[in-house]
């Protein structure tokens, strides 16, 4: 039976939106709703710290590197702590993987949900006050309750996500997520301390003329399809827009139409972007909004990860633009 879809008015709070979705999914238990609230709470805390980062000593490098070899910023570590603490407290989450942690975290509880998170993506931009983001995926646990978690709980295909989304910390901060029934965007209203529905049922334009790629990589691209498509964009005088923060580039392309490309290169022959912490979450969102996400050979959501820091080439955005690149 078609689920009765409740369309809520712009301006409704995230809490009321989540409550209304519980009504739409009678089988939904409150735990999942509480998990979304926990993510939103951590986002508010990180947003507050980012807004005053220039005034207290939390800018700059932390002096170490994460598993992927990225230099960690102090705010990377701070955001990681905030989200892991928020997700650990509620009891709904039994396991976490983070871009900032080498291996998985087993919270040793009877929670039903697994969370994969990139606590602060694009952090190289923080010190120059450019938008950054948090990216998250939510999966169901595989291992039966009261058993220790295994790699299988975390190495799930993106197609198995039950929810995913991102927080964009920009001129205004937004939470955009899907639970598999469309994509909705909430703008943070600091005076209320609330995320408020601002973009209902977001649909990605099937076509566009904006492309996002690090042009400096042009000569080191390994994928001929990506090289040909890049030339096609230039021959057709498309607009190049590359912020260096995936969440910011993705969000603009989601709302205006466009494509983001990070192909395999001589420096990153398997691709730079992480499947579990960046690509899967955004691929679920873009597909729910009518767009497409691929590694050039297959849909991102169908890739089977072999380790939690698995990387992949990523082409994501307007369906016709991505289809043109791969065909």
Task: Give, in degrees to the nearest 5, the angle at Cα 272 between 269 and 276.
Answer: 120
Rounded least distance, CB 214 to ligand P6P, Å: 3
Angle between helices 14-24 and 30-51 (to 10 degrees): 160
Show the site string, 272-301: x = touches ligand P6P by CB under 6 A, - = not. Answer: xx----------------------------
Rounded least distance, CB 65 to ligand P6P, Å: 13
Q: Which of 245, 253, 279, 311 binds ligand P6P (CB under 6 A)?
A: 245
Q: Does 218 bind ligand P6P (CB under 6 A)?
A: no
**List 38, 50, 92, 100, catalytic entry:** 100
Rounded distance, CA 155 to CA 142, Å? 10
**List 38, 76, 153, 249, catalytic entry:** 76
Rounded distance, CA 175 to CA 196, Å? 9
Q: For residue 99, indicate whether it is catalytic.
A: yes
**List 14, 36, 50, 120, catalytic entry:** 120
Q: Which residue has the tokens 């990377």?
A: 76
Q: For residue 70, indicate whether it is catalytic.
A: yes
Ranges of H-type helices in the chain: 14-24, 30-51, 74-89, 151-154, 224-235, 246-256, 280-288, 319-326
φ/ψ bin of 115: left (φ > 0), alpha (ψ from -120 to 50), beta (otherwise) = beta
Rounded least distance, CB 245 to ligand P6P, Å: 5
**List 15, 22, 70, 106, catalytic entry:** 70
Residues for the chain: how many in total? 327
Q: Does 313 bind ligand P6P (CB under 6 A)?
A: no
**List 217, 278, 282, 314, catalytic entry:** 278
DSSP label of 278: I
DSSP reduced 3-state for 100 = coil
Name the token pair of 214.
């690090």
Rounded least distance, CB 150 to ligand P6P, Å: 28
Rounded least distance, CB 189 to ligand P6P, Å: 26
Q: Which of 76, 121, 153, 223 binds ligand P6P (CB under 6 A)?
A: 121
Q: For residue 299, indicate whether it is catalytic.
A: no
From start to end of 99-247, where are the E strands?
105-106, 113-121, 132-140, 163-169, 174-178, 183-189, 194-199, 210-212, 239-240
Q: Which of 175, 246, 261, 308 binds ligand P6P (CB under 6 A)?
A: 246
Rounded distance, CA 278 to CA 112, Å? 22
The answer to whether the beta carbons of residues 10 and 198 sit under 8 Å apart is yes
Q: For residue 121, indicate whether it is catalytic.
A: yes
Q: Does 122 bind ligand P6P (CB under 6 A)?
A: yes
Q: For residue 100, indicate whether it is catalytic.
A: yes
Rounded least distance, CB 77 to ligand P6P, Å: 15
* Parallel/antiparallel/unpaired status of strands 210-212 and 194-199: unpaired
Q: Does 311 bind ligand P6P (CB under 6 A)?
A: no
Task: Give, in degrees to the nearest 5, the angle at Cα 274 between 268 and 279.
Answer: 120
Ranges of H-type helices in 52-134: 74-89
Q: For residue 278, indicate whether it is catalytic.
A: yes
Show the site string, 142-181: x = touches ligand P6P by CB under 6 A, - = not. Answer: ----------------------------------------
Using CB under 6 A as the binding rule, the residues of this chain from 188 to 217 that contact ligand P6P are: 214
Q: Does 244 bind ligand P6P (CB under 6 A)?
A: yes
Show the site string, 87-116: x = touches ligand P6P by CB under 6 A, - = not. Answer: ------------------------------
Which residues are at the interface with ligand P6P (CB under 6 A)? 121-122, 124, 214, 244-246, 272-273
The catalytic residues are 70, 76, 99-100, 118, 120-121, 278
């Amino acid at each position: 039976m078609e689920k009765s879809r409740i369309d809520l008015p712009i301006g409704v709070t995230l809490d009321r939106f989540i409550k209304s979705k519980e009504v739409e999914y009678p089988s939904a238990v409150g735990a999942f709703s509480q998990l979304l609230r926990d993510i939103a709470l951590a986002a508010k805390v990180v947003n507050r710290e980012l807004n005053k980062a220039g005034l207290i000593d939390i800018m700059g490098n932390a002096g170490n590197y994460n598993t992927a070899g990225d230099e960690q910023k102090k705010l990377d570590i701070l955001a990681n702590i905030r989200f892991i603490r928020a997700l650990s407290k509620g009891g709904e989450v039994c396991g976490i993987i983070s871009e900032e942690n080498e291996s998985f975290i087993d919270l040793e509880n009877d929670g039903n949900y697994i969370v994969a998170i990139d606590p602060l993506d694009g952090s190289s931009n923080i010190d120059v006050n450019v938008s950054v983001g948090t990216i998250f995926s939510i999966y169901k646990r595989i291992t039966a309750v009261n058993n220790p978690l295994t790699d299988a709980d975390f190495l799930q295909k993106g197609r198995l996500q039950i929810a995913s989304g991102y927080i964009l910390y920009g001129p205004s901060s937004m939470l955009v997520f899907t639970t598999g029934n469309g994509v909705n965007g909430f703008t943070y209203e600091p005076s209320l301390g609330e995320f408020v529905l601002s973009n209902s049922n977001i649909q990605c334009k099937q076509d566009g003329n904006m492309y996002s790629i690090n042009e400096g990589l042009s000569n080191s691209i390994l994928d001929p399809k990506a090289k040909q498509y890049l030339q096609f964009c230039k021959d057709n005088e498309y607009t190049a827009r590359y912020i260096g923060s995936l969440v910011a580039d993705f969000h603009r392309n989601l709302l205006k139409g466009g494509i983001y490309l990070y192909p395999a290169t001589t420096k990153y022959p398997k691709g730079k972007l992480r499947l579990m912490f960046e690509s899967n979450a955004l691929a679920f969102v873009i597909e729910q909004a009518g767009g497409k996400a691929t590694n050039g050979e297959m849909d991102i959501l169908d890739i089977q990860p072999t380790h939690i820091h698995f990387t992949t080439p990523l082409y994501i955005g307007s369906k016709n633009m991505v289809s043109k690149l791969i065909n």
